[in-house]
């Protein structure tokens, strides 16, 4: 699951994994998330690293604290994650695609046609 050879810090990978768990519905509003010790055990990492990932989500209002009980999913968590990923991750991927299409001297509209074709393929796979 975690990529220790990756340039992305492990605590960010932990935070992104938890975000994905929320998006997939595996962690719901007001549900307790894994403790830093449980995450450390699951991913064989230092508990302080896991805590850093949890705290990142707390700072972004994706998680909230219940004193003495741990961290829980906020009511706005899913919306915050969706907006964050649209505005950061997808935008970066699109910029990279556009730059690559320019380097390849693709004709106008060719990239959009390719995107549309992939969308249609994914819809067909989902049927």
How many residues comprise the chain?
A: 127
Contacts of 104 (CB under 8 A, 6+ apart): none
- What six digits make up the tokens of 124? 């067909």
The answer to whether residues 23 and 82 touch, using CB atoms and an 8 Å cutoff, is: yes
- Note the Cα 39 to chain centre separation in Å: 16
pTM of the model: 0.76
Per-residue pLDDT tens over the stretch 54-77? 999 999 999 999 999 999 999 999
* Residues 64-68: contacts with CB under 8 Å, at least 24 apart: 66/32
Which CA distances in Å does 14 have to 17, 26, 34? 5, 15, 11
In the chain, % of residues over pLDDT 70: 95
What mean pLDDT is predicted for residues 78-101?
92
């Amino acid at each position: 699951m975690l990529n220790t050879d990756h340039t992305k810090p492990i605590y960010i990978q932990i935070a992104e994994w938890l975000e994905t768990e929320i998006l997939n519905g595996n962690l719901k509003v007001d549900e307790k998330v894994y403790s830093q010790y449980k995450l450390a055990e699951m991913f064989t990492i230092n508990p302080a690293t896991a805590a850093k990932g949890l705290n990142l989500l707390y700072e972004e209002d994706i998680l909230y604290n219940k004193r003495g009980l741990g961290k829980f999913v906020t009511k706005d968590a899913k919306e915050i994650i969706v907006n964050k990923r649209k505005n950061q991750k997808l935008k970066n991927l699109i910029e990279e695609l556009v730059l690559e299409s320019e380097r390849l001297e693709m004709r106008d509209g060719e990239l959009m046609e390719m995107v549309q074709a992939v969308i249609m393929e994914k819809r067909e796979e989902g049927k």
